[in-house]
A and B are shown apart, each in its own frame.
Chain A
Amino acid sequence: MSTSAGAGQRATRRSLTRTLTRALPVTPAVVLLLLFLAGPIAYCAYIAFTDLQLTGQAASSFVGFENFRTAFKDEAFLNAVWLTLVFTVLSSLVGQNTLGLALASLMQRASKPVRTLVGGIVITAWVLPEVVAGFLLYAFFRREGTLNAILDWLHLPSQNWLFTLPILAVSFANVWRGTAFSMLVYSAALNEIPKEITEAAEVDGAGGWRRMWHITLPMIRRSIGTNLMLNTLQTLSVFGLIWVMTRGGPGNRSQTLPLFMYEQAFQKSMIGYGTAVALLLLVVGSLFSVVYMRLLRTEV
């Protein structure tokens, strides 16, 4: 009795030691993640409730939900929320997603050289550094840029896009830069649909659009969900692209939440307030992450 209890204890201890030895290689990653990712997130949740300013570190004090109350009364903040929504819906949900699916399904039928060429061009736009993409589209949309040159040539009215419709210009820029990702996800998904199914539908006389709607889309719905989530998360955190193209301006007409957060924290020195906005962004991002993980649940 006592011996078996002792053996049991020893076995437990041995399995504990084994678990610890086996977990040892995970330590560097865990330490790094705790110090540089979890740490800042916890710190974020803390200073969002203080009135910390860029100058005078020591003077900060706990202010409860004051920053959040200020935010929801602040027209500039509500403007940023609205613009972020417009930017996300236009560029991620509508632009990247639809264009990516269109490119991927055209590629299924196109000849190989065209497929390779077009794929290469679209992917190059994606691989380019964010700031470079920003400059290229700045040049494209400027008053003396390429878009207006084309419009002139077609005898259509040209305008200063970055001034008249800045949010539209940066949304297009994000579509230009991000579509490759959707294209790759959808190409992979479409390749997995068995040929027999589409061919059977074709024999039954289903036209292109009906095949798309009734067969292709339902079969790739998981990929659509994944793609929408990841696109949205990427779009929520775009900073460099907009910063290079418009600096959030003119005025604050293209100031999405990340740019608003930056302005409050650094140009107006209100770190506490800027962080409160950051925390809201983080919470929205986390909600999307949770939904995304639900979609992937069977995989882990």
Chain B
Amino acid sequence: MTVATTKSRRANRRLAADAGLLVLATAFVLPLAWVVLSALDPRADLRVRVPDGLTLGNFDAVLTDDVTFTPLLNSLMLCGGGTLLTVVCAALAAYPLSRFRSRFNRPFLLTVLFATCLPITAIMVPVYALFVRVNLIDTMQGTIFFFAASQLPFAIWLMKNFMDGVPRELEEAAWTDGASSFQSLVRIVLPLMGPGVAVVTVFSFVMMWGNFFVPFMLLLTPDQMPASVSINDFFGNRGTVVYGQLAAFSVIYSTPVILLYVLVARKVGGGFALGGAVKG
């Protein structure tokens, strides 16, 4: 086998792989193309096609308090609050797990890992019943607490793994200078694991932003609904469905999480780091 044939064979194989990937990607891109094109189409329907003309009318129509701003603000409060709580609790919990040896570490981590895998959907009915009893139903804070608790196991697991990557020696210097554990966590460890904290934050936020079932069950008042639930109103209360507006709203609602993903992917290899983290 000469070098030339190996080379041309390799080039052929690359071409075949490229072609295969592009064919598969077509199936993935069609629904995405629908939402982008329909959002700009003055007479959008359900199929992918070149718009009759470009318009921003759909965006204009949905950019009102009722349709867009209130639900997005609700989403931001729910997911922002939930994420903050998750990240703070996870960072605090991960520190002793990562830094001190104790016979409680292993059982605790195993429990956390176990909880990571539980199907949260399954406990929503009892959570609803419980929230009715303790008067947390239809409250933002109740939903935030539940969001945080449901993301916490995975956040602790990730945070602990990232924290293990920060060498102890750096902290020991601070300890001899009389810094407390808390000071060394905040001043030394967390800044050194910036990308890790970013991954945990973005991951928690994205999961909550997209979650439909939790707010759908735990919130009742329409004014409090986040975008994931209010988007269904395009079908119910407003008569005939204006698909262009639904598409425009979908674009507005999805953009923040896509931007956050791109941001964190640029910084730490994104999904690849996440894939590695769950791969164990």
> Which single member of A25, A117, A121, A139 contacts B243 (CB below 8 Å)?
A139
> Once the chains bind, are A109 and B130 in contact (CB under 8 Å)?
no
Looking at chain B's contact residues, the main secondary structure is helix
Chain B minimum-CB-distance residue to A99: B24
Residues of chain A contacted by B90 (CB below 8 angstroms): 29
Assembly CA distance A181 to B274 (angstroms)? 9
Interface string of B235-250 (1 = CB under 8 A from A): 0000000010010001
Assembly CA distance A182 to B132 (angstroms)? 38
Contacting residues of chain A (103-149) with chain B, CB-CB under 8 angstroms: 103, 106-111, 114-115, 117-118, 121-132, 135-137, 139-140, 142, 144-146, 148-149
Q: In this assembly, does A252 line the interface, its C-beta being within 8 Å of a C-beta of chain B?
A: no
> Once the chains bind, are A239 and B123 in contact (CB under 8 Å)?
no
Contacting residues of chain B (72-97) with chain A, CB-CB under 8 angstroms: 85, 88-90, 92-93, 95-97
> Once the chains bind, are B278 and A32 in contact (CB under 8 Å)?
no
> Once the chains bind, are A29 and B122 in contact (CB under 8 Å)?
no
A: number of interface residues (CB 8 Å):
100
User: Which one of B27-35, B52-60, B62-70, B168-176 is at the interface?
Assistant: B27-35
> Once the chains bind, are A110 and B272 in contact (CB under 8 Å)?
no
Q: Closest Cβ of chain B: how far from A33's Cβ, in Å? A: 6
Known contacts A25-B96, A44-B126, A136-B35; decide if A106 and B17 are in contact (CB<8 Å).
yes
Q: In this assembly, does B5 line the interface, its C-beta being within 8 Å of a C-beta of chain A?
A: no
Q: In this assembly, does B106 line the interface, its C-beta being within 8 Å of a C-beta of chain A?
A: yes
> Once the chains bind, are A121 and B32 in contact (CB under 8 Å)?
yes
Q: Closest Cβ of chain B: how far from A147's Cβ, in Å? A: 8
Q: In this assembly, does B188 line the interface, its C-beta being within 8 Å of a C-beta of chain A?
A: no
> Which single member of A22, A36, A149, A295 contacts B47 (CB below 8 Å)?
A149
User: Which one of A61-69, A72-80, A183-191 is at the interface?
Assistant: A183-191
Q: In this assembly, does B192 line the interface, its C-beta being within 8 Å of a C-beta of chain A?
A: no
Residues of chain B contacted by A32 (CB below 8 angstroms): 85, 89, 145, 148-149, 152
> Once the chains bind, are A39 and B130 in contact (CB under 8 Å)?
yes
> Once the chains bind, are B122 and A292 in contact (CB under 8 Å)?
no
Q: In this assembly, does B224 line the interface, its C-beta being within 8 Å of a C-beta of chain A?
A: no
Chain A minimum-CB-distance residue to B38: A139
Contacting residues of chain A (126-181) with chain B, CB-CB under 8 angstroms: 126-132, 135-137, 139-140, 142, 144-146, 148-149, 176, 180-181
> Which single member of B132, B149, B271 contacts A35 (CB below 8 Å)?
B149
> Which single member of B24, B47, B210, B274 contacts A118 (CB below 8 Å)?
B24
> Once the chains bind, are B125 and A300 in contact (CB under 8 Å)?
no
Q: In this assembly, does B14 line the interface, its C-beta being within 8 Å of a C-beta of chain A?
A: yes
Known contacts A19-B102, A109-B13, A176-B31; decide if A43 and B46 are in contact (CB<8 Å).
no
Residues of chain B contacted by A36 (CB below 8 angstroms): 127, 145-146, 148-150
Q: In this assembly, does A274 line the interface, its C-beta being within 8 Å of a C-beta of chain B?
A: yes
Q: Closest Cβ of chain A: how far from B222's Cβ, in Å? A: 16
Assembly CA distance A29 to B88 (angstroms)? 9
Residues of chain B contacted by A237 (CB below 8 angstroms): 119-122
Assembly CA distance A65 to B109 (angstroms)? 33
Known contacts A36-B149, A300-B110, A300-B113; decide if A281 and B122 are in contact (CB<8 Å).
yes
> Which single member of A23, A123, A244 contacts B96 (CB below 8 Å)?
A23
Interface centre among B89, B97, B274 (most CB of A within 10 A): B89
Looking at chain A's contact residues, the main secondary structure is helix
Residues of chain B contacted by A102 (CB below 8 angstroms): 20, 24
Q: In this assembly, does A216 line the interface, its C-beta being within 8 Å of a C-beta of chain B?
A: no
> Which single member of B17, B96, B149, B253 contacts A132 (CB below 8 Å)?
B253
Residues of chain B contacted by A57 (CB below 8 angstroms): 132-133
Chain B minimum-CB-distance residue to A26: B93
Q: Closest Cβ of chain B: how far from A160's Cβ, in Å? A: 12
Interface centre among A106, A132, A281, A296 (most CB of B within 10 A): A132
B: number of interface residues (CB 8 Å):
98
Q: In this assembly, does B4 line the interface, its C-beta being within 8 Å of a C-beta of chain A?
A: no
Residues of chain B contacted by A295 (CB below 8 angstroms): 280
Pick the 5 closest A-B CB pairs, nearest first. Answer: A36-B149, A129-B210, A240-B212, A184-B275, A289-B117
Task: Report A's interface with B, CB cutoff 8 A.
Answer: 19, 22-23, 25-26, 28-30, 32-33, 35-37, 39-41, 43-44, 47, 52, 57, 99, 102-103, 106-111, 114-115, 117-118, 121-132, 135-137, 139-140, 142, 144-146, 148-149, 176, 180-181, 184-185, 187-189, 222-223, 226, 229-230, 233, 236-240, 243-244, 258, 261-262, 265, 271, 274-275, 278-279, 281-282, 285-286, 288-290, 292-293, 295-296, 299-300
A-B contacts besides A184-B271, A184-B275, 8 pairs, CB < 8 Å: A36-B145, A115-B21, A125-B32, A128-B254, A146-B34, A240-B212, A282-B123, A299-B280
29 contacts between A and B (CB under 8 A): A25-B93, A25-B96, A26-B96, A26-B97, A28-B92, A32-B85, A35-B145, A39-B130, A40-B123, A41-B123, A118-B22, A125-B28, A128-B210, A130-B210, A131-B210, A132-B254, A142-B46, A146-B46, A149-B49, A184-B272, A185-B279, A237-B121, A239-B213, A240-B216, A274-B125, A275-B125, A275-B126, A282-B122, A285-B122
